[in-house]
Structure 1
Amino acid sequence: MSQRPPKAPPRLPGALPLLGHIPDFGKNPHDFMMRLRAKLGDIAEFQMFHQDMVLMTGAEASEAFYRAPDEVLDQGPAYKLMTPIFGEGVVFDAPIQRKNEQLQMLMPALRDKPMRTYSEVIAGEVEQMTRAWGESGSLNLLDFTKELTIYTASHCLLGPEFRYELSAEFAAIYRDLEHSIQPIAYVFPNLPLPIFRRRDKARVKLHGLVAQIMEKRAQSSEKSTNVFQMLIDAHYEDGSKLSSHEITGMLTAAVFAGHHTSSGTAAWVLIELLRHPEELRRVVAELDALFGEDGPVTFESLRQMPRLENVIKEVLRLHPPLILLLRKVMQDFQVGEYVIPAGKFVCAAPAVTHRIPELFPDPERFDPDRYSPERGEDRNLYGWQAFGGGRHKCSGNAFALFQLKVIFSLLLRRYDFELVNPPESYRDDYTKMVVEPVSPCLVRYRRRETQAERTAATSSSVGTGSAGGHQIKVAVDWDLCKGHANCMTEAPEVFQVDDKGRLTVLDENPSPEWVEKLRAAEKYCPTRAIKVEDGETEGGRCPFH
């Protein structure tokens, strides 16, 4: 029996002359692509202006997309919008071999050894930005995370000149570059629009700054170890050195990798934790157990927080920062029963694949336990694809996770937060190609009490045990208690566990103000040894009494 000939992908009807499906796509790209997949399947064609686009979603189609060699699916022609930002002949505008050499030059700064030095830098930036907060207040979370991550990325990757000597100037330049990433730039990156004019002026300014610092460093006997210096010292396989133009573009690419996706993700991490208080309590308990009150954030400690890491993964599943990952088809490309002709563009959409129930059951639910060893819903490398996949997986993924862990290891130990507006009002802004929460996204903060303050408060409340006619009773089944100390993490005002795992109940009739923490201690006790009763003073007996 003869094999069936391959066929063209199914095509969405209704394309308008000149515009294609842009009006519908532009309203909400995510909703458009979700509907497109629901209607036509994993391989589906639509039109953006004059260009044919093929959406590839699901694990199998995504694997074909990510594993295809550059000679078949090329990033360069798909990302011409980055050429005015990075520069001609740099990264996506370079020939494939030259581009791969350039990207390889950035890798040493993102490997294990230099990463070990970044935790102190990032922690210092968090400390500096929160120093003026005071005891309590409110802020636009997205503004805060944007400012914080541009400081951390520039400090770690570019060096002290950009962070301290040129901080305000570099931030303004970077803002004009980043704001030029608009949907229309994918197709018409050089239209005479004001936003593109500001982009071009910013690129010229940045090149001038880089040239000045290169000259200054050449005259200095001190050698830096950041990515800037690595690029100054690097050379191509043919022995030639990088020009200041190329270094400018690659520095910009490095900061983009470390910042423009991390700022929105950082905001969403806190928002989702505040939407799900039980998950927040579990993360804070993990951090308190790992660091105590003032333990330093180190490279090794950052590898020991599975709860926070799973929360970050789930945030990236529901809110991946990039709407589309694009490639141009350079040679006819067969995927299953379909052939996509050379000249068309193909795209992956992580947020769409992340909502396929066969890959992620109950996909709209925020559920960090998906990534537990038992469930492992991120094992399929082409299912969970927040950082892309294959040979072009984002090289900054390790830095991004590292940066987020440091930030929240400090913020969540120092402050309590709450959402200012109703939880459902915080949503993704799909008018931008790098997805982030709609701004303003307001939160309140209050400094957490120190251990000394909690102890003083506990001492003053011993024996009070009742308020408004109610009393809290705490009991422990000593046969079940194994000294896990989860109770102490949740309610240190009431429970203390010594180095040998022996539990002491500081107050069997604690103040009702601790009831929420006591309920958490009861819930998270692995052996269920703790019982808490909150009832009328004359009410029933505690189950263990």
Structure 2
Amino acid sequence: MGERLLKEPPSLSGALPLVGHLFEFRKNPHAFMMRLREQLGNVAEFKLFHQSMVLLTGTEASEAFYRAPDEVLDQGPAYKIMTPIFGKGVVFDAPIVRKNEQLSMLMPALRGKPMRTYSDIIVDEVEAMLDRWGDSGEIDLLDFTKELTIYTSSHCLLGAEFRYELNREFVEIYHDLEQAIQPIAYVFPDLPLPVFRRRDKARGRLQALVSRIMEKRAQQSANRTNVFQMLIDARYEDGSKLSVHEITGMLIAAVFAGHHTSSGTTAWVLIELLRHPEHMRAVVSEIEERFGSDGAVDFESLRQLPRLENVIKEVLRLHPPLIILMRKAMRDFRVKDFVIRAGKFVCASPSVTHRIPELFPEPDRFDPDRYSPGRAEDRDLFGWQAFGGGRHKCSGNAFALFQIKAIFCVLLRRYEFELVGAPGSYRDDYRKMVVEPASPCLVRYRRRQDSRLKKAGKRSASIRKDSFAERFRIIVDRELCKGHAHCMGEAPELFRVDEKGRLEVLDERPAATLIEKARAAEKYCPNRAISIVNESKP
């Protein structure tokens, strides 16, 4: 199709002078974007202040968004709100090549080998918090999940110093940084507001702490595998080390990724299970079968919980914490038969795409069975997009699922819960930049006295009996691969990931004896970048 046939996106009427559609958007951005799509379709334009915004929904438009290279759709100009928090020259404020180098430095701590060490940390943190509870009581669920996930994320990703030696100070610093994520910061991030002054002071305090811990670690010989140590040891392509300023910003980015979205999702998992007792019974039964009353919660066993994982997926579909993702068009950008001109902001909305009936029948219904093998409604990589997609899909998606599953394997073995309020009174708070349940979010708990709980015994891994045709091929989508290296953990004979996160397929057409290992690599790839194709099928 020639350029002359391309159209400008349809534009929503009713924009006010100076502010555009800001007031309706701020009131409930999800409802606003749902109305926008209903009226104008999957490519639609609106105004925020003076800026033109183009919303892309549905799989075709979303795929164009997620697959666009940075030189065409750039994250940096869209997330200047984070520059005072992460720091100048760090992540979104860095040039594209430097930003991608920085993000790649975070990946080693999110790969299979380090992940296998995190389950013990998470379980210990949950148990420590439950020790305060007693036999029964009432809590604000969101307060609990926020406190818990900041402990688990900081302990796993940053190390024991942040968790124990600096616990109270780090939590206070993190709170002041988090509170500065306000809509006004998109336009005026440096206004002399108290919340922004506390933000800047907190970042300065954190950088001083990071410098102090780095000096302390330099005197020690302990072998650490957390993000902090990996950043200390990392080098750019030109051989230079990260500055304390850069390390501080990337540590903040790592904890934001590990905590900011997981706390709300963890709360919603429990709320939805309590709203739907049949799914609660199924999840508790699965956990009992897998672990018994005191079976070890470890990396391998956490991967064998399909019911719980499907519940988490359905929570992320109905309550994605990030309901809008933005880029700036650096060049004219084509989507379907539309052209989006350079200078406009381009947005994808997981919360809207997740409610399209053609992708998810009865989209407002909580239905974890959507993801069962027979239905697999998440098979479209650009339909179910709770972690984004493409080259910038959230690198911490595997850690987030792992963390939430570990939390519930402890919680639901120790306690029973009930909602304090009416089930329909628990709602998303769309006033926040990262959406979570509205406060207060009250639940009651009672220690379990279930005599049916039994100790989990050893179980042999199930072996698939179906046979694969003699000729099969491994295909990797390089844009989706983020170097998690789970494939190498499953099938080192077939996959190798180097220290830069670059994947090499050692044998694209391996022997039939490696079929099961190849399938395991396909199954456990967090980004679903690997597929096994039967070349013998017509």
Secondary structure of 1:134's partner? coil
Q: Which amino acid aligns with 1:321?
A: P
Give CA-to-partner distance per residue, 1:133-156, whole Å, 9 cap, x none.
111001000000000000000000
Query: Hey, what's the Cα distance between the residues in 1 that align with 2:178 and 2:317?
Result: 23
Alignment partner, residue 389 of structure 1 = 389
Cα drift, residue 3 of structure 1: 8.2
Alignment partner, residue 8 of structure 1 = 8
Secondary structure of 1:181's partner? coil
Alignment partner, residue 465 of structure 2 = none
1:430 paired to 2:430: yes
**1:61-460 equivalences in 2 (<5 Å):** 61-451=61-451
Query: Hey, what's the Cα distance between the residues in 2 that align with 1:89 and 1:168?
Result: 28
Q: Which amino acid aligns with 2:189?
A: P
Identity of matched residues, %? 76
Cα drift, residue 4 of structure 1: 5.7
Q: Which amino acid aligns with 2:105?
A: M
Question: For the Cα contact (< 8 Å) 1:293–1:450, is it kept in 2?
Answer: no
Q: Which amino acid aligns with 2:295?
A: G
- Say which structure, 1 or 2, has more relative contact order (CA 8 Å, 6+ apart): 2
Q: Which amino acid aligns with 2:384?
A: W
Unaligned runs of 5+ in 1: 455-488, 500-545
Structure 1 residues 148 and 214, CA gap change in structure 2 (3 angstroms): same
Secondary structure of 2:5's partner? coil
Q: Which amino acid aligns with 1:30?
A: H
Give CA-to-partner distance per residue, 1:310-340, whole Å, 9 cap, x none.
0000000000001210000000001111110
Cα drift, residue 221 of structure 1: 2.5
Secondary structure of 2:334's partner? strand
Alignment partner, residue 526 of structure 2 = none
Query: Hey, what's the Cα distance between the residues in 2 that align with 1:416 and 1:162?
Result: 32
Give CA-to-partner distance per residue, 1:240-261, whole Å, 9 cap, x none.
0000000000001110110000
Query: Hey, what's the Cα distance between the residues in 2 that align with 1:377 and 1:125?
Result: 34
Give CA-to-partner distance per residue, 1:372-416, whole Å, 9 cap, x none.
000000000000000000000000000000000000001011100
Unaligned runs of 5+ in 2: 460-538
Cα drift, residue 222 of structure 1: 2.3
Secondary structure of 1:300's partner? helix
Query: Hey, what's the Cα distance between the residues in 1 that align with 2:260 and 2:137?
Result: 26
Query: Hey, what's the Cα distance between the residues in 2 that align with 1:343 and 1:2?
Result: 21
Query: Hey, what's the Cα distance between the residues in 1 that align with 2:40 and 2:225?
Result: 51
Secondary structure of 2:443's partner? strand
Q: Which amino acid aligns with 1:418?
A: E
Query: Hey, what's the Cα distance between the residues in 2 that align with 1:257 and 1:24?
Result: 28
Cα drift, residue 204 of structure 1: 0.6
Cα drift, residue 225 of structure 1: 1.9
Secondary structure of 2:299's partner? coil
Q: Which amino acid aligns with 1:160?
A: A
Query: Hey, what's the Cα distance between the residues in 2 that align with 1:104 and 1:246?
Result: 14
Q: Which amino acid aligns with 2:208?
A: G
Q: Which amino acid aligns with 1:349?
A: S
Secondary structure of 2:63's partner? helix
Secondary structure of 2:53's partner? strand
Question: For the Cα contact (< 8 Å) 1:90–1:246, is it kept in 2?
Answer: yes
Cα drift, residue 190 of structure 1: 1.8
Give CA-to-partner distance per residue, 1:272-307, whole Å, 9 cap, x none.
000000000000000000001110101110010000
Runs of 4+ displaced beyond 4 Å: 1-4
Query: Hey, what's the Cα distance between the residues in 2 that align with 1:104 and 1:257?
Result: 14
Secondary structure of 1:443's partner? strand
Alignment partner, residue 520 of structure 2 = none
Query: Hey, what's the Cα distance between the residues in 2 that align with 1:96 and 1:88?
Result: 14
Give CA-to-partner distance per residue, 1:394-447, whole Å, 9 cap, x none.
000000000000000010111000000000000000000100000110000000
Given the two structures, how large is their TM-score scaled by the length of structure 2? 0.83
Cα drift, residue 118 of structure 1: 0.2
Secondary structure of 1:70's partner? coil
Structure 1 residues 293 and 329, CA gap change in structure 2 (3 angstroms): same
Give CA-to-partner distance per residue, 1:498-525, whole Å, 9 cap, x none.
x9xxxxxxxxxxxxxxxxxxxxxxxxxx
Give CA-to-partner distance per residue, 1:224-244, whole Å, 9 cap, x none.
221101100010010000000
Given the two structures, how large is their TM-score scaled by the length of structure 1? 0.82
Query: Hey, what's the Cα distance between the residues in 1 that align with 2:115 and 2:137?
Result: 33
Give CA-to-partner distance per residue, 1:441-480, whole Å, 9 cap, x none.
00000000153xx6xxxxxxxxxxxxxxxxxxxxxxxxxx
The answer to which of 201-210 and 139-148 deviates more is 201-210
Structure having the higher Rg = 1
The answer to which of 368-377 and 2-11 deviates more is 2-11
Cα drift, residue 187 of structure 1: 2.4
RMSD: 1.5
Query: Hey, what's the Cα distance between the residues in 2 that align with 1:27 and 1:3?
Result: 37
Secondary structure of 1:148's partner? helix
Query: Hey, what's the Cα distance between the residues in 2 that align with 1:3 and 1:224?
Result: 55
The answer to which of 214-223 and 392-401 deviates more is 214-223
Q: Which amino acid aligns with 2:201?
A: K
Query: Hey, what's the Cα distance between the residues in 1 that align with 2:13 and 2:99?
Result: 37
